[in-house]
Amino acid sequence: MSTATTTNAPPLRVEGLTKRFRQGNSFIEALSNVDLTIRKGEFVAVMGASGSGKSTLLHVMAGLTRPTAGKVLVDGQDISAMSDYDLTLFRRRHIGLVFQAFNLIPTLTARDNVMLPVLADRGEADSAALDKLLGQLGLTDRGRHLPDALSGGEQQRVAIARAIVGEPSIIMADEPTGSLDSVTGQSICKLLKRLCKEQGRTIVLVTHEPAVAVWSERIVVLKDGRLLTEFKTEPFSDLHELAAQYQDVVGMGPAGEGQ
């Protein structure tokens, strides 16, 4: 399998993405003909109510679930056409994943949890690089601790370090603040923003919370599996204005008519 990046290809592009799930004798369409491009160094939030399809979209974009139709291109490579083996290798090298539940191995230290993707790819641990990464994420003194000795925010920072240690093309985060209190959640949002601005990381974050989405540069809104609209966060002076805009959007149909 070739994992070479296509010249000038965006880190992520989806075309005509559709996903159906069987329910008894019928099918539920979780995603319907979604088109989306994420540019290099961009921080994008995908918003929508429960059942809107936002988590399904992230799972399909990350190659965790196969699309029913359409394409998912990461660095110009169509991952929807890859075999399971090739997709596993490609995802490990190109996509960093952060989940709400942290998904840390409880018997491994923070350092060892971070290094798992590198070791799984038969790479070698670079202690100096790892120390630098832990320092950037405020974990210098926590590297030798097991997950149950860490706070929720520290565990999520370990999960973020694990997601970026292999220098992936894109980081995808599924409700990364959902298991955290509001103060800690905002600190994680601030960290992701800093990673985007200072290190040029490309980030896609799924959330239903305007207080989380406001940290992004662009918000993509899903409703009933369809991309309803998108808008930049910069024009909004505060969270309340952005939240009001989001509520106005989700109350409108695809053609802009009230439902």
What confidence score (pLDDT) does residue 134 get?
92
pLDDT in tens, 66-77: 999 999 999 999
| Alpha carbon distance 220, 228 (integer Å) | 8
Spell out the alpha helix ranges (H) of the chain.
54-61, 84-94, 110-120, 127-136, 152-164, 182-199, 210-213, 239-250
**β-pair partners for 247:** none
Tell me the residue length of the chain: 259
Torsion of CA 222, 167, 130, 126, to 10 degrees: 150
Q: CB burial class (10 A; 0-12, 13-18, 19+) of residue 71?
A: middle
Structural domains present in the chain = 12-250 (3.40.50.300)
| Alpha carbon distance 131, 38 (integer Å) | 30
- Position 82 pLDDT exceeds 90: yes
166 closest CA partner among 89, 82, 81? 89
36 closest CA partner among 66, 13, 54? 13
What confidence score (pLDDT) does residue 46 get?
97
- Position 4 pLDDT exceeds 80: no
Do 188 and 203 touch, CB atoms closer than 8 A?
A: no
pLDDT in tens, 14-57: 999 999 998 888 889 999 999 999 999 999 999 998 889 999 99
pLDDT (average), residues 117-130: 79
First to last CA, the chain: 47
**β-pair partners for 229:** 221
- Position 257 pLDDT exceeds 80: no
Do 162 and 113 touch, CB atoms closer than 8 A?
A: yes
Give 1's pLDDT tier (boundaries 50, 70, 90). Answer: very low
| Alpha carbon distance 255, 83 (integer Å) | 38
The predicted model scores a pTM of 0.88
Give 121's pLDDT tier (boundaries 50, 70, 90). Answer: confident
- Position 215 pLDDT exceeds 90: yes
**β-pair partners for 34:** 17
DSSP label at 148? G
150 closest CA partner among 179, 117, 186? 179
